[in-house]
Amino acid sequence: MESSTIKIILEVFHYLFFICSFLAILSYILLSIISARETIEYVKKNSFVNYKHILSSPISPSITIIAPAYNESLNVVENVRSLLSNHYPNYNVIIVNDGSSDDSLEKLIEAYDLEYVDYEVDEKVKTQPFRKGVFKSKNPAFEKLIVVDKENGGKADALNMGLNISDSKYVACIDVDCLLLEDALQKMIKPFLEATDHKVIAAGGVIRIANSCVIKGGKLIEVNLPKNLLVQAQILEYLRAFLLGRMAWSRLNGLLVISGAFGIFDKYIALEVGGYDTNTVGEDMEIIVRMRRHMEEKNEKYKVAYIPDPLCWTEAPDNYKTLISQRNRWTRGTIETLRKHRKIAFNKNYGKFGLISYPYWLIFERLAPIIELVGLLYFGILIAFNLVHWEYAVLFIALAYLFSVLFSLVALFSEELTYNQYKKKGVGIKLILLCIIEPIILHPVILYAAIRGNIDYYFNKTKKWGAMERKGMSSGETN
Amino acid sequence: MHIYDYIVGAFQEAPFLIQISLVVVVAMIITIVILIIGLRATRSLLKIKDKEIANYKTQYEALIVDFLYSGDDSDEMSKSQRSIIIKLKSGVRIPSRQKSIITILSSLMDEVSGEMSDDIKSLYRKTGLAGHARHRLKSKKWHIVTKAIWELRQFGVYEGQEEVSKFITHHKREVRKEAQLYTVDLFKFEGLSFLDDLELPLSEWHQLQLLEALMTEGNPKICDIKPWLRSPNVSVILFAIKLAKIYNQFEVKEELISLLAHPNKEVRSAAISVLNDLFGYETEELLQLSKDAFSYEEVHVRTAEL
Amino acid sequence: MMKRHKIVLAEDNSTLSLLLKYKLEKEGYELLIAADGKQAIDLVESYNPDLILTDIMMPYFSGLEVISHVRNKLKKKTPIVVFSSAGQEDMVLKAFSLGASDFMTKPFSPNELVIRIKRLFSEFKTIG
């Protein structure tokens, strides 16, 4: 190849990267501004909401919490207690024991005084069959609890079983190891009931990281910043994603995912679209995209709502191995969902959904790691051919780094001014330092995991069918 | 100075793109430093505020409870009560203290009734808080107005009626909701008269709150709900159906039956549900008659609700 | 001199707790205050009160669980009065089936509470 051709190719790359970075930075700035405005509005609106009123209302709509459990024997009793102590007048809890091979069921039977009840399930969505069937408590204090023991079928299948059994208008799908705050259901149901000119099909909550927090009797007693740097970095990442990213997207009604760890759905619509897809590892994202698509096709006005209060707390991976496998799975979930619904992309029939949300997700979530990898390879080639203009390179890297620090700091600011969860003395300075080192400790790992996810998706056949690979439960998506 | 000259020289010679990037980098570093300082300052400010709030809470909680118990049986205030009022009044002038006092009073209002709640209401007036709240109704900021209306409602300040009624059709949803709740909470069914010509929709959440406001304390006499069942506003009809159900309005049977032909699906299924509730088996016949008019979904909704 | 009756009050609204404490101490009772169900159970276990007042909706352990614990685990017949909010009728029914002695719906009048407490003590004396 002639050197002039190489030059042209390099030039093109230059511009492509420049445009990509510029768009990314621009989108982040826009999202920050939108989220700031939305947050202020939200705080103002909720400063005088008296949740006591809906709490005591005898006509508040029914909600079912569906929590799939797979080999959770260690904590299941405690976790169920937390689910049962929500302050909402009209709800029940379905624990779906998804073919666990441990003694989860026995422990639940013992702790909650359960007995077998004959139950005929109306199979609105096809699922794996019962194993031991349905159990309820003999103790009226635990009347809200239903435990279902079924054959293993994966998280989506377990959730579908819950959808079949629930007799409520709304379902809250959560991970059993999540800790819900007591006012979680009240706050999450509000957007459904407040809508007048559109229908709210689902509402997502914030996921907060519970590592090192003190939890007793199913209640969060004390919020702590964990010592583990990897977990700390994820806290910052979650703050950015939830306080800035999702807040803004909810304002634009462009949320494509609500965390599998905690979300509420209009059950009727969730069943109308056929429940969760059991053939993907990203069932939490997939069902939202499918529900949105359904509403767009029916031409009905709808919204996916979002509640920024810290209502759901969960353990984050505290080692590289688990973190990488989690992110690997999220990447595959995203690819699967976007591919399955690629018809939406740039399709004006789907309105903003097709023209903004989907493409944004495609470029900044799905393709970003690949673009970055190509960039790195390109940089490597430049070094190899000794073509690097170091002053450009250094400045470019500095810009990228500083921008990510800046963005983290903005997220932190938003946290301090709104929910201020990390109140302990001395934590403030740690969080600031964290903003400075986070891009170095977390970002490379996430990039690596995302690339691995891509490789596994396209080349690793045994992993391709997510549902076959892992029958266990997974925490939800955050970004 | 040598180094400085060198840097300036190098900057001036650098290509344009580099110059811009350098400027941006410097600007970003400055922003970051400002943000960090801001974060530190906010944090210590919040800490001080938290302490203050906790401090006020214990201080005023004791004072208020003291006030409520130091009265004698006469209508006159006792000497110690008067001195407590003076203390509270001086607190009311400072916004953060005022907030704390209101929070304490309001949380008690939610829990106690009878004489005690009357005492709290009169304390709210005597400390000048009622006047403050009415004054804030003139604010241009919607959330301040809303908060003020909420207060007047929470402490049953009837005198605010005229000012508050102006907000009943306010363009900002939060404001008009609070104003409507005020009139309904204080004047019960009489306060619902705004429904007569309401064009704006009532959300489900708001309807629940209105019902709640109707149901607190006493057993107010229900008025004629027929006009609302004929309202052009669907959400008003739905609300009236709820009233019919809760207050067992057998006399609106005709209206409910005519709603079975309403173009809105939700209205139809709500009507079925309440007819079933009030008249039981008779409804089955009615449904048989107009079976074709109902989709599977409505029957489904109906059974789910029962 | 007659022994003062001990009462455990479980209530998460601190102002109401304080208010009731004043009121009931004025009436000659000894009050032990718990801010949540867990503390209430601890107090019941260590002080063996003559009466328990508990809110239904509370952090950690609900009032229902407090009743269940006292009746089933501790096997005690201590009278229990529950506070409920409007619209929690089925909770009240559950409380009674677990062994609650009386209930009061919030908002309630402290004076009425005193009357009910007095009545409960006199009933309990004649039965016990």
Distances (CA, A) of A392 to A396, A398, B237, C51: 6, 10, 67, 78
Nearest residue of C to residue B68, measured between CA atoms? C19
CA atoms within 13 A on the CB side of A239: 26
User: Into how many domains does chain C fold?
Assistant: 1
Query: Do B109 and C26 count as a contact with CB atoms less than 8 A apart?
Result: no
Q: What domain range includes position C19? A: 6-124
Tell me if chain B has a CB within 8 Å of the CB of C112.
yes
Q: Which of C62, C67, C85 sits opposite A85 (nearest CB)?
A: C62
Q: Which of A56, A143, A217 sits opposite C85 (nearest CB)?
A: A56
Asked if pLDDT for residue A474 goes beyond 60, the answer is no
B181 and B165 fall within a common domain: yes
Name the helix (H) or strand (E) containing A187. Answer: helix A184-194
In-domain check, residue B29:
no
Q: What domain range includes position A154? A: 1-478
Distance (Å) from the alpha carbon of A217 to chain C's nearest alpha carbon: 6
Query: Do C97 and A58 count as a contact with CB atoms less than 8 A apart?
Result: no
Angle (nearest 5°) at CA A385 between A381 and A388: 80
Helix (DSSP H) and strand (DSSP E) numbers for chain B: 16, 0
Tell me if chain A has a CB within 8 Å of the CB of C62.
yes
Average confidence (pLDDT) over A386-414: 90
Distances (CA, A) of A456 to A193, A335, A381, A453, A460: 42, 11, 25, 5, 5
Angle (nearest 5°) at CA A182 between A179 and A188: 90
Q: How confident is the model at residue A238 (pLDDT cuts 50, 70, 90)?
A: very high
CA distance B237 to B261: 13
Name the helix (H) or strand (E) containing C81. Answer: strand C80-85
Nearest residue of B to residue C25, measured between CA atoms? B69
User: Into how many domains does chain B fold?
Assistant: 3
Query: Do C86 and A216 count as a contact with CB atoms less than 8 A apart?
Result: no
pLDDT digits (tens, 9 = 90+) for A60-91: 899 999 999 999 998 899 889 889 888 888 89
Asked if pLDDT for residue A466 goes beyond 70, the answer is no
CA distance A475 to A154: 13
Nearest residue of C to residue B65, measured between CA atoms? C19
With contacts defined as CB-CB under 8 Å, which chain B residues touch A52?
Answer: 110
In-domain check, residue B9:
no
pTM given for the model? 0.89
Beta-bridge partner residues of A179: A313
CA distance C19 to C111: 11
Q: Which of B64, B113, B212 sits opposite C108 (nearest CB)?
A: B113
Query: Do A57 and C87 count as a contact with CB atoms less than 8 A apart?
Result: yes
Instruction: Report residue A43 CA to chain centroid gap.
Output: 22
Q: What percent of chain A has pLDDT over 90?
A: 69
Quote the DSSP letter at residue A348.
Answer: G
Other beta carbons within 10 Å of A332? 25
Distance (Å) from the alpha carbon of C26 to chain A's nearest alpha carbon: 30
In-domain check, residue C1:
no
pLDDT digits (tens, 9 = 90+) for C25-67: 989 999 999 988 889 999 999 999 999 999 988 766 778 889 9
Residues of chain B with pLDDT under 70: 1, 71-75, 217-219, 281, 283-306
More confident residue, A12 or A132: A132
Query: Do B203 and A195 count as a contact with CB atoms less than 8 A apart?
Result: yes
Query: Do B39 and A428 count as a contact with CB atoms less than 8 A apart?
Result: yes
With contacts defined as CB-CB under 8 Å, which chain C residues touch A85?
Answer: 59-62
In-domain check, residue B84:
yes
Closest by Cα among A369, A412, A409, A414 to A247: A414
Asked if pLDDT for residue A356 goes beyond 90, the answer is yes
Closest by Cα among B271, B273, B240, B244 to B257: B271
* Per-residue model confidence (pLDDT) at position A354: 94
- Which amino acid is residue A222, in one-letter code? E
CA distance A225 to A203: 28
Asked if pLDDT for residue A463 goes beyond 70, the answer is no
Average confidence (pLDDT) over A114-121: 92
Q: Which chains form contacts with chain C, at 3 or more CB pairs under 8 Å?
A: A, B
Q: How many CB pairs under 8 A join B and C?
A: 57
Distance (Å) from the alpha carbon of A111 to chain B's nearest alpha carbon: 31
B119 and B161 fall within a common domain: no
- Which amino acid is residue A287, in one-letter code? I
Q: How confident is the model at residue A461 (pLDDT cuts 50, 70, 90)?
A: low
In-domain check, residue C90:
yes
Q: Which of A87, A143, A217 sits opposite C60 (nearest CB)?
A: A217
User: Where in A130-185 does DSSP place strands (E)?
Assistant: 130-137, 145-150, 170-174, 179-180
Q: Which of B25, B146, B246 sits opposite A398 (nearest CB)?
A: B25
In-domain check, residue B186:
yes
Query: Do B43 and A47 count as a contact with CB atoms less than 8 A apart?
Result: no
Distances (CA, A) of A180 to A237, A279, B19, C18: 21, 28, 51, 29
User: Into how many domains does chain A fold?
Assistant: 1
Beta-bridge partner residues of A147: A95, A135
- Identify the domain boundary among B127, B153, B181: B127
Name the helix (H) or strand (E) containing B8. Answer: helix B2-13
Q: Which of B61, B112, B117 sits opposite C14 (nearest CB)?
A: B61
* Per-residue model confidence (pLDDT) at position A220: 85
* Per-residue model confidence (pLDDT) at position B73: 62
Q: Determine phi and psi for A220, rounding to 5 degrees.
A: -80, 120
Query: Do C108 and B107 count as a contact with CB atoms less than 8 A apart?
Result: no
Q: What domain range includes position B294? A: 224-306
Query: Do B39 and A169 count as a contact with CB atoms less than 8 A apart?
Result: no
Tell me if chain A has a CB within 8 Å of the CB of C34.
no
With contacts defined as CB-CB under 8 Å, which chain B residues touch A188?
Answer: none
* Per-residue model confidence (pLDDT) at position C2: 62
B231 and B250 fall within a common domain: yes
Asked if pLDDT for residue A134 goes beyond 50, the answer is yes
Query: Do A402 and B203 count as a contact with CB atoms less than 8 A apart?
Result: no
Distance (Å) from the alpha carbon of B114 to chain C's nearest alpha carbon: 5
Tell me if chain B has a CB within 8 Å of the CB of C116.
no
pLDDT digits (tens, 9 = 90+) for A153-187: 999 999 999 999 999 999 999 998 899 998 899 99
CA distance A345 to A343: 6
CA distance B3 to A414: 40
Worst-scoring range by mean pLDDT, A31-35, A106-110, A314-318, A386-390? A386-390
With contacts defined as CB-CB under 8 Å, which chain B residues touch A405?
Answer: 32
Q: Which residues of A touch C (CB under 8 A)?
A: 52, 55-58, 85, 87, 89, 139-141, 143, 182, 216-219
Is the ipTM here above 0.95? no
Q: What is the 3-state secondary structure (H, E, C) of A405-427?
A: HHHHHHHHHHHHHCCCCCCCCCH
Identify the CATH number of the domain in which residue A193 sits: 3.90.550.10
Q: Which of C15, C22, C107 sits opposite B117 (nearest CB)?
A: C107
Nearest residue of C to residue B103, measured between CA atoms? C15
* Per-residue model confidence (pLDDT) at position A385: 86
Distances (CA, A) of A197 to A200, B22, B168, B258: 10, 50, 20, 25
Q: Which of B69, B104, B108 sits opposite C22 (nearest CB)?
A: B69
Q: What percent of chain A has pLDDT over 70?
A: 94
Nearest residue of A to residue B235, measured between CA atoms? A196
Asked if pLDDT for residue A464 goes beyond 70, the answer is no
Distance (Å) from the alpha carbon of B44 to chain A's nearest alpha carbon: 9
Closest by Cα among A194, A207, A160 to A326: A207
Query: Do A413 and B21 count as a contact with CB atoms less than 8 A apart?
Result: no
- Identify the domain boundary among B65, B95, B127: B127
Tell me if chain A has a CB within 8 Å of the CB of C64.
yes
Nearest residue of B to residue A436, measured between CA atoms? B32
* Per-residue model confidence (pLDDT) at position B69: 84
In-domain check, residue B306:
yes
